[in-house]
Amino acid sequence: MRDSAQKIAILGASRGLGRALCLHIQTQGPASELFVASRKEMALREIRRGQDSLLVADFTKADDQARLQSALFEFRPNSIFYVAGGGPFGDFEKKEWKDHQWAFDLNFAFPAKLLHTMLADPSWSEFLRQFVWIGSAIAGEKPDPQAASYAAAKHAARGLVSSLQKEAAKKFDIALYEPGYMATEMLPPHAWPRQQGLAKSAEDEARELWQWSQTRIK
């Protein structure tokens, strides 16, 4: 790897926005070495290049969270994009509690814990310049009926990041990027935003996300 290559970790890289971000960086970004992680190994293998690192992990499982944290520390990323997200769809009370717990863990508790570790241990700031958390322009601020636990977690992400941004200067940039509707697997084909042409492609959103993230650390 060239010394000047940026080391970028994309957590939730197998599909949708995370995959599009990997492909954007690989084709139009700077020289880079990527760290890609999520549950689906085959999909990760498809986007990984020779020099990249790959970790198969379920971000809601304690053992996998610990493995991911150590592997990330070893990789020494300059930037981390926490893209993974999801949640149960339907009336709150009709879903089991474990499904809501899953949404809280995936969309809030785990990235919050990661961020806490990275801020509390100064050795992370020897290499880390930026942590970008993907929220939601819709669920981060407004009610999202049928997706209450997902919306609660996205609201919590906004509360945490906006509060940290007002605390004394941190050793690395902490950013919340909140996309609108995107035409990914998360949004079913019959969903009204797709039908009304309101869903952006993951590729367009990834390009904007990358450009926005770079302007913050110039």
Ligand X SMILES: NC(=O)c1ccc[n+]([C@@H]2O[C@H](COP(=O)([O-])OP(=O)(O)OC[C@H]3O[C@@H](n4cnc5c(N)ncnc54)[C@H](OP(=O)(O)O)[C@@H]3O)[C@@H](O)[C@H]2O)c1
Which residues ranging from 72 to 91 are in contact with ligand X (CB under 6 A)? 83-86
Of 180, 173, 141, the residue nearest 157 (C-alpha): 141
> What does DSSP say about strands 32-38 and 79-82: parallel, antiparallel, or unpaired?
unpaired
Q: Which C-beta is closer to ligand X: that of 2 or that of 98?
A: 98
Tokens of 67: 């493995």
C-alpha Rg value of the chain to the nearest Å: 17
Q: Does 184 bind ligand X (CB under 6 A)?
A: yes
The residue within the footprint of ligand X, chosen from 7, 8, 15, 119 (CB under 6 A), is 15
Q: How far is the CB of 71 from ligand X (least distance, A)?
A: 13
Looking at beta carbons, which residue is closest to ligand X? Answer: 16
Q: x-or-dash pattern for ligand X, window 124-163, by CB under 6 A?
A: ----------x-x-x-------------------------
Of 52, 77, 169, the residue nearest 128 (C-alpha): 77
H-run or E-run covering 175 = strand 173-177
Could you give the C-alpha distances from 1 to 7, 74, 75, 84, in angstroms and in order? Answer: 10, 15, 13, 27
The residue within the footprint of ligand X, chosen from 24, 179, 209, 210 (CB under 6 A), is 179
Q: How far is the CB of 198 from ligand X (least distance, A)?
A: 9
Cα–Cα–Cα angle for 181, 183, 186, nearest 5°? 80
Number of residues that bind ligand X (CB under 6 A): 30
Q: Which C-beta is closer to ligand X: that of 5 or that of 178?
A: 178
Residues that bind ligand X (CB under 6 A): 12-18, 38-40, 43, 58-60, 83-86, 106, 134, 136, 138, 179, 181-182, 184-187, 202
